[in-house]
Amino acid sequence: MNEHNSIKQVFDFNRENSKGCLIGYITAGDPTLDVTQKAADALIYGGIDILELGLPFSDPIADGPTIQAASLRALNAGTTPMRVLETAKEIKRKHCNIPIVIMTYYNPIFRKGLNSFLASAKEWGVNGFIVPDLPVEEAYDYKKTAVKYVLDTIFLAAPSTSNERLPEIVSASSGFLYLISRLGVTGANSTIEESTLQLIRRFKPFTAEKIPLAVGFGISQIDHVKKVIDAGADAAIIGSAFINIIQKNIDTPNVMLKELEQTAKELKKATHFER
């Protein structure tokens, strides 16, 4: 993997240009892997900086109704972990400068074999993993293998994460730290709570000069992106808003792709900041 498409360099480039990063999440295989590739194209043309591909799983613990429904559609279409990696490979072949992060629960990795799965991921262009059900305290073997294959390990922190535990999570993370903006599950919100902005301001001293801080869960609109970036976040993660566009336009793919690209373009504009 060339250094020019590393997660770190994407964050560095955006920071130098007074922008936050826009991370776009879609569930791989929803409604088909062919559509996933086209949706990824649309989001990248629209300006997302990092693509996050969700590996569909039958028993998600962090996903709200939107992503659960997307996972079900993907599983029903025959999506498997290895086919997700193959899809990542095809996307990376076309968009070599866009980092790809896989979000998956640990079970699919364990079943495929830790070394084998991460080796394939690296070979096929994946840059890092988010594993929501893998706490730092239980991640030694995973981290060791990820380091071996130069894959970023992106841990999550939440409103319930204490200031005492946060440094351990920060030091174990690479790529970026994923800040869950609220307790509960994923899903688009109509407003950004003041508590989310306060949370960013609480976490920022722990991540500054160490690792980028990316904020997800409930961020879906232009003003949401602007507010979290202005509060000090280095990236906004958008998922359910994009998946809603896919779900709404399953029978009209051309409309879907146009709306995905336009929405990404508008959200990316909101990442400009003055600090």
84 and 109 Cβ atoms separated by less than 8 Å: no
Please check the confidence at residue 91 and state whether its pLDDT lies above 50. yes
Measured distance CA(79)–CA(73) in Å, rounded: 9
pLDDT of residue 218: 83
Question: Helix 65-76 to helix 240-248 angle, to the nearest 10 degrees?
Answer: 50
DSSP code for 121? H
pLDDT mean over 37-49: 98
- Non-local (6+) Cβ contacts of 113 within 8 A are none
pLDDT mean over 88-93: 97
Domain boundaries, the chain: 3-269
Question: Which of 116, 126, 45 minimizes the C-alpha distance to 87?
Answer: 126
CA atoms within 13 A on the CB side of 34: 3
pTM of the model: 0.93
Which tokens is 234 given?
A: 């280095």
pLDDT digits (tens, 9 = 90+) for 117-172: 999 999 999 999 999 999 999 999 999 999 999 999 999 999 999 999 999 999 99
What does CATH list as the number for 3-269?
Answer: 3.20.20.70
DSSP code for 125? T
Catalytic site residue from 52, 234, 259, 261: 52
pLDDT of residue 68: 82
> Considering the chain, what percentage of its residues have pLDDT values greater than 70?
92
- Bridge partners for 54 per DSSP: 27, 103
Is 49 tagged catalytic?
Answer: no
In Å, what is the CA distance from 264 to each residue of 134, 146, 221? Answer: 30, 30, 10
Catalytic site residue from 63, 152, 259, 261: 63
Question: Which of 101, 112, 104 minimizes the C-alpha distance to 134?
Answer: 104
Provide the H-helix boundaries in the chain: 7-16, 33-46, 65-76, 81-94, 106-112, 114-123, 140-148, 166-172, 194-207, 222-230, 240-248, 253-269
Is 234 tagged catalytic?
Answer: no
